[in-house]
Amino acid sequence: MTMNRRTLLTLGASLPVLVLTANVGFAQSTPKFYAEDGIAIDGTDPVTYFTEGAPIVGDSAITYA
Residue environment code for 13-33, b if the CB has 16+ CB neighbours within 10 A, otherwise e:
eeeeeeeeeeeeeeeeeeeee
Residue 36 pLDDT class (50, 70, 90 cuts): low
Q: Average pLDDT, whole number, for the chain? A: 77
Residue 39 pairs in a beta bridge with: 36
Domain encompassing residue 31: 5-51
Residue 55 pLDDT class (50, 70, 90 cuts): confident
- Residue at 56 is within a domain: no
Q: Say how many domains are in the chain.
A: 1
Q: Residue 12 half-sphere exposure, CB side, CA atoms within 13 Å?
A: 7
- Residue at 60 is within a domain: no
